[in-house]
Amino acid sequence: MMGKYETRLAELGLELPPVNPAQGNYLPYRATGNPLFIAGQGPRLAGDLVWKGIVGKDLTVEDAREAAKLCALNILAQVRAGCGGDLDKVTGVIRLAGLVRCTTEFDQQAKVLNAASDLICDVFGKIGAHARIASGTQALPSNMAVEIEAIFEVDL
């Protein structure tokens, strides 16, 4: 039986990808007390990087928004894993922090991260409202276009 947030994902036509393995010496998620810390998630699918390059040069804003959505789905996949397979253990979304690899002239980082924030809020409703930072950077691991980390509140 699917929980209410798994059902909401299905209603939105969204499917969480398989959990991607850590790309180095870190945990993909870490629970301690009520917060669940999700390591930076890139736009990967089955471990393969889908969105590479520099936004404003190689990629458009819409490309970057799609990358951010995939990052958000990967975050939710890690949250589900961190909650023992049950997204209904989420009691709140605390924070998203996103990096956009972009040109120095690019100034639409917030618009890019809005795609991830909107997805999270669409899935979780009122408890999905969160604090956020959206920053631009010159480089990200593996030439990925967007990377987002998150903090969720959970009842484990």
For helices 109-124 and 4-11, give the axis angle rounded to 10 degrees: 120
| pLDDT score at 99 | 99
Round to whole Å and give the CA distance between 52 and 130.
27
Helix H or strand E encompassing 20: none
pLDDT confidence of residue 33 = 78
Q: Which amino acid is at 94?
A: I
Residue 21's pLDDT band (boundaries 50, 70, 90)? confident
Q: Is residue 96 within 8 Å of residue 149, measured between CB atoms?
A: yes
* CATH entry, 35-154, from 2.40.37.10, 3.40.50.300, 3.40.50.720, 3.30.1330.40: 3.30.1330.40
- Provide the mean pLDDT of the chain: 94
Question: pLDDT tens across 83-137, in order?
Answer: 999 999 999 999 999 999 999 999 999 999 999 999 999 999 999 999 999 999 9
Torsion of CA 97, 115, 41, 44, to 10 degrees: -160
Q: Over 90: is that where the pLDDT of 30 sits?
A: no
Q: What is the pLDDT of residues 58-88, one digit of tens each?
A: 999 999 999 999 999 999 999 999 999 999 9
**Per-residue confidence at 1, pLDDT binned at 50, 70, 90?**
confident
> pTM to 2 decimals?
0.89
Q: How many CA atoms lie within 13 A of 4 on its CB side?
A: 8
Alpha-carbon distance of 124 to 4, in angstroms, equals: 9
Cα angle 135-38-129, degrees, rounded to a multiple of 5: 65
Alpha carbon distance 93, 89 (integer Å):
11
pLDDT of residue 26: 66
